[in-house]
Structure 1
Amino acid sequence: MAGLAHDTPIPESITLHSQSRVLEIGFADGTRFRIPFELMRVYSPSAEVKGHGPGQEVLQTGKRSVDIVELEPIGNYAVKPVFSDGHDSGIFSWDYLHWLGTRQDELWAEYLRRLNDAGVDRDAPMATAAGHACGGHG
């Protein structure tokens, strides 16, 4: 994911809406998405969230009110949001943001299913992972 493929959707506009907590992104192909900060946070493409391999994903909770306090450009292929909970290790490529936008409904349903399966409420505080040596923030 270090470079752009020939079919990578390129954004023409990116706007953070702090009040409604959504990132609005418009792509050159005409698609436009409003991606909630919470969805971005719980599906962050970081090792802290995804783990270091299949089955090591860390279920994120308590992220309903998370804000993006900064959005750093990463070259010409991605952005790195800094979330209000301190999480800042996810690099969101244009491909990944397009994927999040197109699959929002499916991803929300999957997230709610995982919460239900774990018997955890969406607003529960994050459990601390003792001994997790991945670095990064909560």
Structure 2
Amino acid sequence: MSGLSPNSPRPTDIKLHQQSRLLEIAFDNNMHCKLSCEFLRVYSPSAEVRGHGAGQEVLQTGKENVNIVAIEPIGNYAVKLKFSDGHDTGLYSWDYLYDLASNYEGLWLEYIGRLDAVGIKRQTD
């Protein structure tokens, strides 16, 4: 999931909407999405979130109001997102961003289900 395939869609535009805490991405295959900062934070590709192997993922909680404070390009294959809670170790490759966008609904429901399973309710402002 973290590699870059030669035929992968590439972002043509990335816009941060800090007020609504959304990252808007347009891909070169005409796919367009808006991903919440919370969603991007809880699905960070960093080892801190994903662990170092299957079953080692760390459930992220209390990220409802997190925002992106900086977007740093990494070569021509990824961006590093810096979040308002200090997290900045995940490199979001184009493939990974496209995967998140393509599977947003299922991944979001999975996250909410994991929160529910441990009795945590999201707190929105």
TM-score by length of 1: 0.85
- In the TM superposition, what is the alpha-carbon distance from 1:122 to its structure 2 partner? 2.6
What are the within-5 Å matches in structure 2 for residues 39-78 of structure 1? Answer: 39-78=39-78
CA RMSD between the two structures: 1.0
Structure 2 gap ranges (5+): none
Give matches, 1:20-35, under 5 Å.
20-35=20-35
Aligned-partner Cα distance in 1 for 2:104–2:5: 23
Q: How does 1:75-90 map to 2 (within 5 A)?
A: 75-90=75-90
1:15 aligns with 2:15: yes
Render the CA deviation track for 1:10-68: whole Å, top value 9, x for unaligned: 11100000011111000111001101100000000000000111111110011111010
* Equivalent position amino acid for 1:51 in 2: G
Aligned residues: 122
Indicate conservation of the 8 Å contact 1:45/1:91, yes or no: yes
Shift of 1:8: 1.3
Identity of aligned residues (%): 56
Is contact 2:5-2:95 (8 Å) kept? no
How far the C-alpha of 1:75 sits from its partner, in A, is 0.4
Query: What is the TM-score of this pair, normalised by structure 2?
Result: 0.93
- Structure 1 unaligned spans of 5+: 124-138
User: What residue identity is the alignment partner of 2:30?
Assistant: G
Q: Compare CA radii of gyration and give the structure with the larger one.
A: 1
Q: Distance in 1 between matches of 2:59 and 2:5?
A: 30
The answer (yes or no) to whether the contact 1:61–1:121 under 8 Å persists in 2 is no
Q: What does residue 115 of structure 2 align with? A: 115
Q: CA deviation at 1:79?
A: 0.2
Matched AA of 1:92: Y
